[in-house]
Amino acid sequence: MSFDELHKNIAETLSKEVDSICQQFTVTETKMQELTDYFIESMNSGLEPLPEGETEGTQSSRLPMIPSYVTGKPNGTEKGLFLAADLGGTNFRVCSVVLNGDQTFTLKNMKNKIPEYLLDDENVSSEELFAYLAKRTGVFLKRYYPTIFSNPDGEEELKMGFTFSYPVNQTSLCSGTLIRWTKGFNISDTIGKDVVQLFQEQLEKEGLKRIKIVALTNDTVGTFLSHCYGSGSSNSLASGDVSEPVIGCIFGTGTNGCYMEEIENIKKLPQDVREKLIASGKTHMIINTEWGSFDNECRHLPTTQYDIDIDQKFSTNPGFHLFEKRISGMYLGEILRNIIVDLHKRGLILNQYRSYNQLPHRLKTPFELSSEVLSHIEIDDSTGLRETELSLLQSLRLPTSPIEREQIQKLVRAISRRSAYLTAIPIAAILIKTNSLHKRYHGEVEVGCDGSVVEYYPGFRSMMRHALALSPIGPDGERKVHLRIAKDGSGVGAALCALVA
């Protein structure tokens, strides 16, 4: 066989293998129906009281479905100054929010990239983490509110809402114990502890006694509330708008969503708590589903060998958040990295490197390939995929041939498409469970979304729409769903929580 023939042969085999991998990433209409049914089942069981002896979040077949203790929706007329702290996937944000009472707000914001050692080092203690958060809060206060900072004994309290975007067993609006870390943290001594107490203690040690954390919330709940505030939800009928905010969700480093459930259905809340709430006129409570943990047993989730490897070999929480590991920004690049390494092992790609050891260091480093790189590859239409070539060189120091790049682009598109298709499952399931598409006049609903993937990944929202039309709500249901980007959810949402506290 001539060199050219051999080359052609390898290219054809590579293309065939890639097609068969892409095939494993497709989510069919039948699969969507099956997954949506199972999602509704898992939500229902998650609302039931925990089986005896079980702790929240350890059972794989039910969704955590965490009561948030937030029982109302803002309508845009709320007012006041609040502080908000937000520990999420990659950043710790401190902000002050002035709610102007007319659906608008003014925000002062300081974003801190979480230092690597807090994420990677297993020996880091809770105290070190929360001391860091308190220090950064002090820096914020000194910069934006110097008179309050220099007067720590002043009388007036500054109310703070704490957005803590990890699974928490919430015990009241202002307390909750960490069930487990997700999205990279691995500090074992935080588990089981009340994160509000840990943070408040460190704020006091830092001399920030005037700051009082009055509400603990999840980023999805914040997104939902801030979306309601911005859209003036309860006034919407008066303004001629007939759509209703129903879901708050995040598609970023992680993924999760919340919605309002009838208090009567939240059987896991002690009966006296339910009765008291209902007696005081409350009918609904926001539930943080923690849908990242949907189907941790992989009974129905589409699963490839790469998903198994990432979960078992590379993630910090093996066996948990398996839905998230197929969807969110933290994992999209890692899926591609695993596939490329596998294709190389099978002699189909990057043959200039004779062995695994010779591969560029960055390609061998878990989680080195970011979803941002995939977003460039996704839409590259340059000749010979030059953009892709540069992106891979820059991010992984990885030289590629045009044929390899063509295959890598196919893989990227299959990975992102599966992610977007899977996002339609919880959305459809919640809309069906709450019967939202058949309520009110036209049954139009709003889904407030936040997170880097839904906001910036090219074509992601349009793929979500395709998937919603294929899901059990069908094209008629899909037309009633308005996906809206809710910016600054965790800041404004935490302020709104602090306000009701």
Q: For residue 241, report the phi and psi dihedrals to the nearest 5 degrees.
A: -90, 135
Give the H/E segment covering residue 178: strand 175-178
Nearest CA among 259, 261, 264 for reference residue 279: 264
Q: Report the distance separating Cα 266 and Cα 280, nearest Å.
A: 16
Q: Judged by CB under 6 A, which stretch of 43-51, 114-122, 218-226, 365-373 contacts ligand GLC?
A: 218-226
Q: Judged by CB under 6 A, which stretch of 4-12, 251-259, 345-353, 363-371 contacts ligand GLC?
A: 251-259
Is there binding between residue 448 and ligand GLC (CB under 6 A)?
no
110, 245, 269, 332, 481 from 217: Cα distances, Å: 19, 18, 17, 27, 25
Is there binding between residue 167 and ligand GLC (CB under 6 A)?
yes
Is there binding between residue 176 and ligand GLC (CB under 6 A)?
no
Q: Report the distance separating Cα 46 and Cα 182, nearest Å.
A: 19
Report the nearest approach of ligand GLC to the CB of residue 490 (Å): 9
Is there binding between residue 220 and ligand GLC (CB under 6 A)?
yes
Token look-up 């994420």 returns 119
Is there binding between residue 183 and ligand GLC (CB under 6 A)?
yes
Give the H/E segment covering residue 445: strand 444-450
Report the nearest approach of ligand GLC to the CB of residue 256 (Å): 3
Q: Judged by CB under 6 A, which stretch of 91-99, 212-220, 380-388, 396-404 contacts ligand GLC?
A: 212-220
Give the H/E segment covering residue 416: helix 402-433
Cβ count near 159 (within 10 Å):
19
Antiparallel, parallel or unpaired: β 284-288 and 255-262? antiparallel
Is there binding between residue 256 and ligand GLC (CB under 6 A)?
yes
The dihedral region occupied by 65, where left means phi > 0, alpha psi between -120 and 50, and beta the remainder, is left
What would the two tokens of residue 315 be? 């993630």
Is there binding between residue 14 and ligand GLC (CB under 6 A)?
no
Q: Is the CB of 210 or the CB of 321 nearer to ligand GLC?
A: 321
Is there binding between residue 182 and ligand GLC (CB under 6 A)?
yes
Q: Report the distance separating Cα 442 and Cα 159, nearest Å.
A: 39
Report the nearest approach of ligand GLC to the CB of residue 257 (Å): 8
Of the residues 74, 184, 248, 254, which one makes contact with ligand GLC according to CB under 6 A? 254
Report the nearest approach of ligand GLC to the CB of residue 154 (Å): 34
CA angle 41, 42, 47 (to 5 degrees): 100
Is there binding between residue 219 and ligand GLC (CB under 6 A)?
yes
Report the nearest approach of ligand GLC to the CB of residue 183 (Å): 6
Is there binding between residue 67 and ligand GLC (CB under 6 A)?
no
The string of DSSP letters for 332-399 reads HHHHHHHHHHHHHHTTSS-TTS-SGGGS-GGGGSTT-S-HHHHHHHHT--SGGGHHHHHHHHHHH---
Residue window 86-115: x/- pattern of binding to ligand GLC, with contact defined by CB under 6 A:
--xx--------------------------
Q: Would you say 231 and 501 are in contact if contact means Cβ atoms under 8 Å apart? A: no
Q: Judged by CB under 6 A, which stretch of 161-169, 264-272, 417-425, 491-499 contacts ligand GLC?
A: 161-169
Report the nearest approach of ligand GLC to the CB of residue 129 (Å): 16
Q: Is the CB of 180 or the CB of 418 nearer to ligand GLC?
A: 180
Residues identified as active-site = 165, 180, 219
Of the residues 194, 206, 290, 444, which one makes contact with ligand GLC according to CB under 6 A? 290
Of the residues 246, 250, 327, 420, which one makes contact with ligand GLC according to CB under 6 A? 250
Q: Distance of alpha carbon 102 from its chain centroid, rounded?
A: 29
Q: Report the distance separating Cα 226 and Cα 75, nearest Å.
A: 10
Q: Which residue is nearest to ligand GLC (CB)?
A: 254
Is there binding between residue 324 and ligand GLC (CB under 6 A)?
yes
218 Cβ contact partners less than 8 Å away, ≥ 6 residues apart: 66, 68, 163, 164, 165, 168, 256, 258, 288
What would the two tokens of residue 101 be? 């009472």
Q: Is the CB of 223 or the CB of 338 nearer to ligand GLC?
A: 223
How many chain residues touch ligand GLC (CB under 6 A)? 19
Of the residues 46, 292, 477, 491, which one makes contact with ligand GLC according to CB under 6 A? 292
Report the nearest approach of ligand GLC to the CB of residue 63 (Å): 12
Is there binding between residue 294 and ligand GLC (CB under 6 A)?
no
Report the nearest approach of ligand GLC to the CB of residue 174 (Å): 17
Residues that bind ligand GLC (CB under 6 A): 88-89, 165-167, 182-183, 218-220, 250, 252, 254-256, 290, 292, 321, 324
